[in-house]
Amino acid sequence: MDAQAATKFIRSVRAVRRFADREIPVDTLRDVIETARWTGSAKNVQPWHVVVVRDRAMLGQLAACGEFAYHLKGARLGIVLVMASRGYAFDAGRLTHNVMLGAWAHGVGSCIAYFQPDDNQAKAKELLGIPDDRWVPTGISLGYPADEAALRISSDPGRTSGFAVGRMPLDQFVSWEKFRQTA
């Protein structure tokens, strides 16, 4: 893949919250997990473990563990990040993004589920048998997009994001040398 194709692919990733009733092949899932396993971490300490959740009832229970976790209930599966501690928040973000990129390479959509506040995180840990000393900030819902609109619209008909689709103009995104300085 040339550089332009790679950057075009990266820019194509979208949050997907509505999923088709279609299984994710085992080979695809293994490739996504392998991609995640190769995520870089500070000093290569690899402060993580992931739990793959395929049970629909469990996904429904996890969906109740955070205001922004509701889409897990409609996912084909979820991947829950188990971090060594809160000190690895940056590495959790890196791991999350690699899961999402690995999935998207196979046409599988995903969305971040945030387990907050702390009592919701404790409930997620309890449900999955995760030790108390671990930090469980994030789950990722995975599944093939339900339709084209699933690339733009929430899975909850009562939710409207109020956010613009697309990206801010480049001149609003970047400064050169100093904040708000143009090239």
The reply to whether 38 falls in a domain is yes
Residue range of the domain that includes 94: 12-148
**Residue 37 lies inside a defined structural domain of this protein:** yes
Please report whether residue 132 resides in a domain: yes
- Indicate whether 18 pLDDT > 90: yes
Is residue 64 situated within a structural domain?
yes
Mean pLDDT of the chain: 92
pLDDT tens-digit series, residues 148-157: 888 875 545 5
CATH number at 18 reads 3.40.109.10
* Number of domains making up the chain: 1
Model pLDDT for residues 133-179, shown as the tens digit of each residue: 999 999 999 999 998 888 875 545 555 554 556 778 888 899 999 99
Q: One-letter amino acid identity for 25?
A: P
Is 168 a domain residue?
no
Buried-state track 36-54, b at ≥16 Cβ within 10 A, e below 16: beebeeeeeeebbebbebe
